[in-house]
Structure 1
Amino acid sequence: MNDAAPHHPDVRPVRHVLVLPDRDAAEEVAEALTERFGVAEEPQLVRDALAGEDDAEDAQWLVVVEDPEAAHDPARLHDLAAEYEGWLEAE
């Protein structure tokens, strides 16, 4: 038995990437995504060092959200990221 949500042929799966300034902000956004948006899969946190930067302080954090049914409004995700001085990366 497959517990995954049914895939509709006219809906393309989407991956949202929210860029945050630090790990604390990324963790708070991931928690908010689960609580406020009800994302099915736990968001992934990824450290992204800026190109050419060796200093760990200059790292951004990415929160990756799989959205197989394209159910989450990008404008709302952008607003959430902006609350934590981040943004939604354009695909």
Structure 2
Amino acid sequence: MRHLLVFPERDSAEEAAETVAGWFPSLGVPPVVRETLAGEDDAEDAQWVVVLDDPGGGLQPQDLARLDALAEEGEGWREPG
């Protein structure tokens, strides 16, 4: 399973990636990429995305709630990838 944490600012995305790596060390440090999401016409509207791979599907509902809260703190959101 893949989860995407989407942020408007690079700093927020990088901080979230570090936090996630601390919470779930077995998953490693997730990469941060700049991506234009569907419906975005302008490159300036591109978002910063933390790509969190959970190959075994081991993240539990409470873990996903923590990821949701983390994303919201950075004015972002989580979506399954």
Same fold (TM over 0.5): yes
Which sections of structure 1, spanning at least 5 residues, go unmatched?
1-13
Q: C-alpha root-mean-square deviation of aligned residues, in Å?
A: 1.7
Name the count of aligned residue pairs: 76
Which blocks of at least 5 consecutive residues in structure 2 are unaligned?
none
Separation in 1 of the partners of 2:69 and 2:28?
20
1:71 aligned partner = 58
Question: Rg bigger for which structure?
Answer: 1
> Does the 8 Å contact 2:2/2:80 carry over to 1?
no
Match of 1:52 among 41, 49, 70: 41
TM-score under structure 2 length normalisation: 0.79
Say which structure is richer in helix: 2
> If the length of structure 1 is used for normalisation, what is the TM-score?
0.71
Q: Which structure ranks higher in relative contact order (CA pairs < 8 Å, sequence separation ≥ 6)? A: 2
Q: Residue 42 of structure 1: which of 13, 16, 29 is its match?
A: 29
- Counterpart Cα distance in 1 of 2:48 and 2:67: 15
CA deviation string 1:14-67 (max 9, x = no partner): 10101011111110000000112324232021112352114x3x2211100010
What amino acid maps onto 1:84 in structure 2?
G
| 1:90–1:65 CA distance, 2 compared to 1 (3 A) | closer
Conserved? CA contact 2:6–2:50, under 8 Å: yes
Q: Percent identity?
A: 47
